[in-house]
Amino acid sequence: MIGAYDKKNIIKKLQELPAELLGEVDDFIDFLKIKHAKSTPQSNKVEEPKSLYGAAKGLITYISDDFNEPLDDFKEYM
């Protein structure tokens, strides 16, 4: 038993919840984990996501020679 709450009772409530609300419950659980991770000591903190800056480096291996040339579809606007 966790405090006044019983895990089995919470699971039962989740099973009875309409499927369209489960996403909200999932989001709320994530919110609670982040909220309480900020108030716990550094050793117990959940690792923050790392920056994606440069994550695609090396994935583009070829760029056409005319990449910067105007597209035919837009000639009438130029």
What pLDDT, on the 0 to 100 scale, is given for residue 4? 65
Pairwise CA distance, residues 43 & 40, whole Å: 8
**Domain segments of the chain as ranges:** 1-49
Q: Is-above-0.95 flag for pTM?
A: no
pLDDT tens, 21-72? 898 999 998 888 888 887 766 555 667 777 778 878 888 888 889 889 988 8
Which residues does residue 5 pair with via DSSP β-bridges, in sequence order? 2
pLDDT tens, 2-31? 556 788 888 999 999 998 889 899 999 888
